[in-house]
Amino acid sequence: MSAQLVRDIAADAFTDAIDMLSIVDTLESGNTPVAVAVVRTAQTDAVVECIYRALWTRLLVIVARAYADKRQSGDRHAHVAFELLKDPAIRSEVEKSGDATALAEAITLWVNHRGDHRLHSILQYRDKFVAHRGKWDAKIPLPIINEIFEVTRATARALERLAQGTGVVTLSLDSQMMTYRKRADRFWGV
């Protein structure tokens, strides 16, 4: 059952990875001089602000969720899968129907990303400003937008390798995102 849970989580994580990268592309496309000029000309600044807040909220929630500790027995986020993979029997069972090299790469990426100093400020920002209202720990710097994008992309790549390593996905994120940026540009009038 635990090996199947890892596979189920990996499939959902791949969908989250696509969602993460789609949001990043949408935000980046909307932050170009041409897009900003289109928004100003259309006098839709307030609408765009609402869209930005919704996109940022969604992005921070799904990135933070991937790293969340297991709190209840039914939790099914990426961190749970990586914790289960620490069990040699579960990992061996997963590797039987997957790609052991991709799975090892996913685990290495995950461990490295968990230790990324930028992640802590992103998670705190999600906790104190997005999900809850709380006092910001002044010792922790506020996250920088480009760093959020970098951490998001790195997280998405780890989730991609997890899905490929478990054998639930043979596609790449790049193949799924190929035309998305063009669509985002069209949306913003770029």
Give pLDDT tens digits along the chain (190 positions): 699 999 999 999 999 999 999 999 999 999 889 999 988 888 988 999 999 999 999 999 999 999 988 777 788 999 999 999 999 999 999 999 999 999 999 999 999 999 999 999 999 889 888 888 888 888 888 899 999 999 999 999 999 999 999 999 999 999 999 889 889 989 888 8
pTM: 0.92
Per the structure, the complete domain to which residue 52 belongs is given by 2-188
3-state secondary structure the chain: CHHHHHHHHHHHHHHHHHHHHHHHHHHHHCCCHHHHHHHHHHCCHHHHHHHHHHHHHHHHHHHHHHHCCCCCCCCCCHHHHHHHCCCHHHHHHHHHCCCHHHHHHHHHHHHHHHCCHHHHHHHHHHHHHHHCCCCCCCCCCCCCHHHHHHHHHHHHHHHHHHHHHHCCCCCCHHHHHCCHHHHHHHHHCC
> What's the domain count of the chain?
1
